[in-house]
Amino acid sequence: MTILLGLESSCDDTAAAVVRHVEGQAPEILSSVVAGQAELHAAFGGVVPEIAARAHAEKMDHCVEQALAEAGLALRDCDAVAVTAGPGLIGGVLSGVMCAKGLALGAGLPLVGVNHLAGHALTPRLTDMVAFPYLMLLVSGGHCQFLLVRCATDFTRLGGTIDDAPGEAFDKTARLLGLSQPGGPAVEAAAQSADPSAVNFPRPLLDRPGMDMSFSGLKTALLRERDAVVTLHGGLPEQRRADLCAGFQQAVRDVLVEKSRRAIAAYLDLAPADPVFAVAGGVAANGAIREGLQALCAGTGTRFLAPPLRLCTDNAAMIAWAGIERLRLGLTDGMDLAARPRWPLDTAAAPQLGSGKRGAKA
């Protein structure tokens, strides 16, 4: 039996969790505490790194105490302390790493540094005990990439966005149309009562081979369409706004579905015994996008897996779990564990031109 305490502080969620795993059985999340900071950053229209770092330093102790209390355990009952060591906003990552070092040193426990993206990518094994290799689409406000997960330490990046992440595009769209933040749910709700073909948006990079994507042109197109509507109507009528939302959402969906089709084909070439396509990240909550991906999987004999939203978005249970996977492989870190603002999962892949300009949140 292995029990890990996990810590996460790479963006604007301070989180601590305890996960227990008995070999051959389903892992158990004994507790998962997430303290968000949305109210601290709301006035600034984005995450302010310095404010985030201070808040992490203040909140982490409480989150750890609460996570242990909810699990009914003491720190010495844990086998190790896992912590996000990057990528992310450096002040936040540092405060998590320092806290984890203190806890590990004080309790005489091993320390395990975890890549935040590996936490997301390994979540299907925490929730559904999925076997390697599987395909993952990580699609959030800061990231968009296809990962071939071969084992707990081997991730191949098949492709991803070369500019904005889709969540970022949803958020900007909401801002341009006067809708609330976060933009994804607001745009999805507005799109419900509209015709997705009323406004035709571009589908960037669909005409090119490969699995790379681009979403920054979509917001420029949206701005143009919005201005045309405003000029025509002297304002933005409710129905026209809904049509813009529906058209935009449809374009994102079409790009994600077509690129996923190619990624699944590349993955199926490996002839996995039980093919699985998993999604993670806030955008995976979008009903239309989910439906499109689900239908695509059904047509290719691939199991579609979407972990519950609380485990798709930033949390520490995924860090504790990734820590368990590393510990099992004998991978621990010393007190020299470094906090890394940038830390690509696939070091062999070509450097990305840009992904998630909004920040380092993954």
Where on the chain is the footprint of ligand KG4 (CB under 6 A)? Answer: 140-142, 167-168, 170-171, 182-185, 188, 281-283, 285-286, 313-314, 361-362
Token couple for 314? 């930033």
Q: Which partner from the list Zn ion, ligand KG4, none does 170 bind, CB cut-off 5 to 8 Å by kind? A: ligand KG4
User: Whole-number minimum distance, CB 124 to ligand KG4, in Å?
Assistant: 15
Query: Residues with Cβ < 8 Å from 281, sequence gap 6 or more?
Result: 120, 138, 139, 140, 141, 143, 144, 167, 312, 313
Shortest-Cβ-distance residue relative to ligand KG4: 184
User: Whole-number minimum distance, CB 283 to Zn ion, in Å?
Assistant: 12
Helices (H) and strands (E) in the chain, counts: 11, 10
Nearer to ligand KG4, 111 or 283 (CB): 283
User: Whole-number minimum distance, CB 265 to ligand KG4, in Å?
Assistant: 25
Return the closest-CA partner of residue 321 out of 301, 307, 340: 307
User: Whole-number minimum distance, CB 273 to ligand KG4, in Å?
Assistant: 30
Token couple for 89? 């906003």
User: Whole-number minimum distance, CB 104 to ligand KG4, in Å?
Assistant: 27
Nearer to ligand KG4, 59 or 172 (CB): 172
> To 10 degrees, what angle do helices 183-191 and 238-268 make?
110
3-state secondary structure of 272: coil
Nearer to Zn ion, 139 or 362 (CB): 362
Sign of CA dihedral 113, 116, 122, 126: positive
Phi, psi at 201, each rounded to 5°: -95, 155
Nearer to ligand KG4, 109 or 277 (CB): 277
User: Whole-number minimum distance, CB 33 to ligand KG4, in Å?
Assistant: 16
Q: Which partner from the list ligand KG4, Zn ion, none does 188 bind, CB cut-off 5 to 8 Å by kind? A: ligand KG4
Nearer to ligand KG4, 16 or 362 (CB): 362
As to burial, measured by CB atoms within 10 angstroms (0-12 exposed, 13-18 middle, 19+ buried), residue 335 is exposed
Q: Which partner from the list Zn ion, ligand KG4, none does 246 bind, CB cut-off 5 to 8 Å by kind? A: none
Query: Residues with Cβ < 8 Å from 27, sequence gap 6 or more?
Result: 19, 20, 21, 125, 126, 129, 321, 324
The residues binding Zn ion (CB under 5 A) are: 314, 362
Provide the CA 324 distance to its chain's centre, in angstroms: 20
Q: Which partner from the list ligand KG4, Zn ion, none does 31 bind, CB cut-off 5 to 8 Å by kind? A: none
Q: Do residues 7 and 19 lie in contact, with contact meaning Cβ atoms separated by under 8 Å?
A: no
Q: Which partner from the list ligand KG4, Zn ion, none does 171 bind, CB cut-off 5 to 8 Å by kind? A: ligand KG4
Q: Which partner from the list Zn ion, ligand KG4, none does 185 bind, CB cut-off 5 to 8 Å by kind? A: ligand KG4
Shortest-Cβ-distance residue relative to Zn ion: 362
User: Whole-number minimum distance, CB 168 to ligand KG4, in Å?
Assistant: 6
Q: Do residues 34 and 316 lie in contact, with contact meaning Cβ atoms separated by under 8 Å?
A: yes
